[in-house]
Each structure stands twice: as structure tokens, then as C-alpha cells.
Amino acid sequence: MTTTRTQVAIVGAGPSGLLLGQLLHKAGIDAVIVERVSGDYVLGRIRAGILEQVCIDLMDEAGVGARMHREGLVHGGIEMLWDGRRHRVDLNRYSGGKNVMVYGQTELTRDLMDARAAAGLTTVYEAHHTAVHDFDTARPYVTYVKNGVTHRIDCDFIAGCDGFHGVCRASAPRSAIREYEKVYPFGWLGLLSDTPPVCDELIYVNSERGFALCSQRSKTRSRYYLQVPLTHHVEDWSDDAFWQELRLRLDDEARERLVTGPSLEKSIAPLRSFVTEPLRFGRMFLAGDAGHIVPPTGAKGLNLAATDVKYLFDGLVQHYRERSDAGLDAYSAKALARIWRAERFSWWFTQLMHRFPHDEQITAKFQHAELDYLMHSEAGLRTIAENYVGLPLDFGQR
């Protein structure tokens, strides 16, 4: 067995782990990242597409925002389509001047990976049998196996950034953890294509055939989603079948503008609301999907991960620079307050836009009436806008 030492051992090289690692590096705090799969595999996952200002600011704080600002698309609104009617939600106007940015998680992850490699920082990819130890003591450590050799990393803290299926949350004592979960009875079939987006902004669709979303990655690359039953498998869906079903869920204007093409990627993501309480276990902290999952309807997953990382990073800097653990002690409660607000919005937006099995016909009429009210009410437009662009970091503390 080899033994090395670092200040923070990060498990997981997704956006959470990489962003935390980059921020710590900029602050002169040593961190090693241990990742189960290869870097190419991480980059091959097609996931989030929308960045909130808080996430954009964090990328800038981490010194990796240049390409994001060059290539990201700033959006000041979203379109809502239901019952053949389309309404624009002016996010900028109703959120007090905020926007969102279209910049794929894949690109954000690539920027963070490139910065880490350029700085010569250690990321152990394809590490197997990762385990976390003694996090309830002052001397935690992480072990993993690479090329048949067991390695140990002694550290001051462990950051569990290893996603929903990771080892860190699973290693927390069951008596110390509470998990809240709601699994939705449908999934999102996503398709990525090098075709021009059907609309300048995103279109969220509540149709009698189910939810659809027209998103994008650039002016030449589109991302579409269809609500599908949990019994469906991606191999059940040819590209033609996808495009045909999407057309049936759009309005005439979008149908006419839709440019179809071969899929670059196609996958079905399950939807769940999930929160772990607390997010801290001694010297191990959970951040990002390791601690919570949201249905992607509200585009919150990646952005929540970013704000967890911000709170944890600030706490770690305070520990090392000021010898104060106030920030670390407050991390879980502070992050959970924001997480539950995003969970609530994502759940509410999912309920509003999807068709649930066994829904009576009246439920669709309630959804249409709610959408009609929201689109014609300043209070309604404001509630959508301020939640969609992301509540201020100090929300609820004023």
C-alpha cells in the first residue's frame, strides 16, 4: 500500500469535485480527486445545460470562465407552451435583471478538467474500490485500488462529490442520516443533435401527450427531451420516432421551424426528488448529487451542486486561514435551506408541466388554468422567474 497526504480528499471528478478542487487550488489549499471512471467517460455524459448567475460567478472565481463567456449563450427568457398557446416568461424583467446562460455541463466539466491538468494537480481516474475511513475522527483517510495496488490518502477533510450512486453517502452511519425521496412515474428521453435550435430560447411544453423541452447547447447544437413512461428503453426509440413524437407535442410555429438530424446522443434519465439530511458526518461533507437530486425540470441540479461547493469552499478557507470552523459547522444547514427551496420549485414545475399516469382529465384543466393565471399575473411571472434564475445566495437571511 502507498500512503500520501493532502488537506482535502475529494471523491468524484464531476462538476462538484472539479469545481471544489479548482477553488481550493486557487486558495492554496491542497486537494486530491479520486474518480471511479475515466475522464473521457465523465465528459461523455450529456447532462445539464443551464447555468445560473451564481454558477457563472463561481466559474469566474475559479478562474475558468473565459470560454464560458465566449461561447455561452445568455438567455433573458423562456417560452411556455400549453394547449396550443405560447407565452414568454421575461426572466430578466421579472427577476430584477437576472439572466441564465446556456453552456453545457460537458463544456463546464472540460474547462475544469483542463485547468486542473494545466496546474499539474492530481486526479486519479479509474480508481476502484474507493472507501472512506475514520471521518468521525480528526484523521480521516480515503483508500482506493489502481492497477491492483491499494493506495491510502490521509487528509484533514473528505469532500463527498461522488454523485447519487457514490460511496460517501452510503458510508454515513444509517442512524445519523435521514433521506427524503420522491420517485416520479416517468423519465426524460433526451436527444442531442447538431441541428439549429427550434427557437432562440428554451420552450417548456405541457402537451396532452406529455412534457417536452426544446433546449440547446449552441446556435448549431440542440438538446430535446420527451417525457416517456418508465417502461421505455432508449433502444425503443429510433431518431425518426423521437422527431415524430416531438412534432406532435409542439405548436405549428415550432413544428415548421424544427430541423431534425441524426442523434449524437440519446438517453433516458429517471426523475426523482431526493435530499439527504444532514450533509456533514464528522470530517466528511456531501456536495452536489451525493447529497440531493432534483427532477431536471427546473434546471437546478448542476446549479445546486455549485452552491454547495461555494458554501463548503468558504468553510474550508475559513478553517485554514482563520482557524475557525464556523463556516464548516454551518455548511449543512445553510446548504439544505437552499436545496429545499430548489427542490420545492423543481417539484412544483414538474407537477405543472407533466402528465402523470392515472391523472383525471380535470388535472390537465387545473394545469392549464394555473399556467393561464401565472402568465397573466405579475406575481406569477415573478415567482417563476426568480426561482428559475436562482434565488440570491443570501435569500431568507435578509
Interface residue list for ligand FAS (CB under 6 A): 11-17, 34-37, 42, 47-49, 105, 127, 130, 161-163, 165-167, 269, 288-289, 296, 299-302, 305
Min dist CB 304 to ligand FAS, Å, is 7
Q: What does the alpha-carbon distance between residue 130 and residue 19 come to, in Å, rounded to a whole number?
A: 20
Is 204 a residue of the active site? yes
Is 94 a residue of the active site? no
Count CA atoms within 13 Å of residue 85 on its CB side.
Answer: 8
Min dist CB 271 to ligand PHB, Å, is 11
Min dist CB 366 to ligand FAS, Å, is 26
Q: What is the DSSP annotation of 232-280? A: --GGG--HHHHHHHHHHHS-HHHHHH-----EEEEEEEEEEEEEEE-SE
- The helix or strand, by DSSP H or E, that contains position 169, with its residue range, turns out to be helix 168-171
Min dist CB 318 to ligand PHB, Å, is 33
Is 300 a residue of the active site? yes
Min dist CB 356 to ligand FAS, Å, is 20
Q: Exposed, middle or buried, 57 (CB in 10 Å: 0-12/13-18/19+)?
A: middle
Sheet strand arrangement including 141-146 = 2-5, 149-154, 141-146, 128-133
Catalytic residue among 144, 204, 224, 225: 204
Closest of 114, 148, 110 to residue 128, by C-alpha: 148
Catalytic residue among 184, 311, 331, 388: 388
What does 13 interact with, of ligand FAS, ligand PHB, none (CB < 5 to 8 A by kind)? ligand FAS
Q: What is the dihedral of CA 329, 337, 62, 54, to 10 degrees?
A: -160
Catalytic residue among 151, 296, 310, 319: 296
What does 156 interact with, of ligand FAS, ligand PHB, none (CB < 5 to 8 A by kind)? none
* Position closest to ligand PHB via CB: 49
**Between residues 89 and 167, which has the closer beta carbon with respect to ligand FAS?**
167
Min dist CB 13 to ligand FAS, Å, is 5
Is 125 a residue of the active site? no
Q: What is the dihedral of CA 278, 279, 284, 286, to 10 degrees?
A: 150
What does 297 interact with, of ligand FAS, ligand PHB, none (CB < 5 to 8 A by kind)? ligand PHB
> What proportions of the chain, in percent to the nearest 5, are helix, strand and coil?
40, 30, 30
What does 16 interact with, of ligand PHB, ligand FAS, none (CB < 5 to 8 A by kind)? ligand FAS
- The helix or strand, by DSSP H or E, that contains position 326, with its residue range, turns out to be helix 326-353
Catalytic residue among 98, 266, 292, 300: 300
**Between residues 279 and 374, which has the closer beta carbon with respect to ligand FAS?**
279
**Between residues 76 and 298, which has the closer beta carbon with respect to ligand PHB?**
298
Residue numbers at the binding site for ligand PHB (CB under 6 A) = 48-50, 202, 213, 215, 223, 296-299
Is 388 a residue of the active site? yes
DSSP state of 356: P
Tell whether omega for the bond before 197 is within 30 degrees of 0, i.e. cis: no
The catalytic residue positions are: 75, 204, 296, 300, 388
